[in-house]
Amino acid sequence: MTKGSLLAEIVGFVPERGIAVWWLGQSGFIIRGRSATVAIDPFLTDFGHLGRAYKPPCSPDQVDFLDLLLGTHEHEDHIDPLGFPQLLNASRKAIGVVPAPLLPHLERLARSKGRLIGASVDRPIERNGVRVTAIPALHGLVPADGYHFHLDAAGEHPFVGYLLELDGVRICHTGDSLVYDGLAQRLRDADLDVLMLPINGVSWFREQRGLVGNMNVFEAAELADASGARLIVPMHWDLFADNSEDPEHFARHLAARHSNTSVAVPAIGTRLDVLPH
């Protein structure tokens, strides 16, 4: 699918019921319902030092139809310092939602104070018919820092995931995270239709190159089953050659060990339709 045809499809398709989801690669998604269109962690430029495995599926300055733009944390493949401001500039009515500790930095970066909201864990934000609630993500900065929540002086989380409710569909995008105590229960309580979670794993060798990891295929499958989510979408497995995973490995393991859990491995730019249960 070409850049133009992808954007034309998104703009031209309004679900009669439920939502439509387009995967943009890595951890990026566009979610469209009748009420609103939401982007999460879209990485749509060539910014970064790791070397993309493929070009972005569309250009941020052409995405002019967003209502909400969500970023889970400051790493450039999630909140892109080039693309994030371009997306806000292109989608003039969009509101950006970022972790509360990042708000001052993103306001300077995007040159906007009126269109950005700092998200605090467990404090819902409601905009344009969408309910967004940040949840903790257990990530890392560099290997020497270890894996913990990295709370700021005010006790706020700089790494988060998001629970979304849009047109009767409940979605969780975990952001970059390992499994931590209480996460499975939190996801079960959310009664999810869709769970998006990373599968690239943790590797000692990658960490020596400064690449922090997430849950691996086996942990992700256990969490998917424990969450009770009706559909699982693996993410964060494809963009960088030395920080990748085979999603079919995840899908096979899930099917073999947790056969009651459904999984979708979408191709970039293809539409995934989800109905409320």
- Among 235, 271, 265, 246, which residue's Cα sits nearest to residue 26? 235
pLDDT tens per residue, range 235-262:
999 998 888 899 999 999 998 988 888 9
pLDDT category at 142 given cuts 50, 70, 90 is low
Count the domains in the chain. Answer: 1
Q: Residues near 127 by Cβ (< 8 Å), separated by ≥ 6?
A: 36, 67, 68, 95, 117
Task: Record the pTM.
Answer: 0.95
Q: E strands of 179-258, at which residues?
A: 194-198, 231-235
For 11-48, write each residue's pLDDT tens digit.
999 999 999 999 999 999 999 999 999 999 999 998 76
Q: How far apart are CA 92 and CA 196, in angstroms?
A: 27
At residue 107, φ and ψ (nearest 5 deg) are -65, -40
Chain CA centroid to CA 70, Å? 8
Looking up residue 200, the CATH number of its domain turns out to be 3.60.15.10
3-state secondary structure of 243: helix
The sign one gets for the Cα dihedral 253, 255, 260, 265 is positive
* Per-residue tokens: 116: 């950005």
Q: Is 182 exposed, middle or buried (0-12, 13-18, 19+ CB in 10 A)?
A: exposed
Query: How confident is the prediction for the chain on average, in pLDDT?
Result: 92
* 202 backbone dihedrals φ, ψ, rounded to 5°: -115, 135
CA distance linking residue 190 with residue 215, whole number of Å: 20
If DSSP codes are grouped into helix, strand and coil, which group holds residue 84?
helix
Question: Do residues 14 and 167 make contact, with C-beta atoms less than 8 angstroms apart?
Answer: no
Structure tokens at 5: 């045809």
Domain holding 7, by residue range, is 3-274
Q: Is 264 helix (H, G, I), strand (E, B) or coil?
A: coil
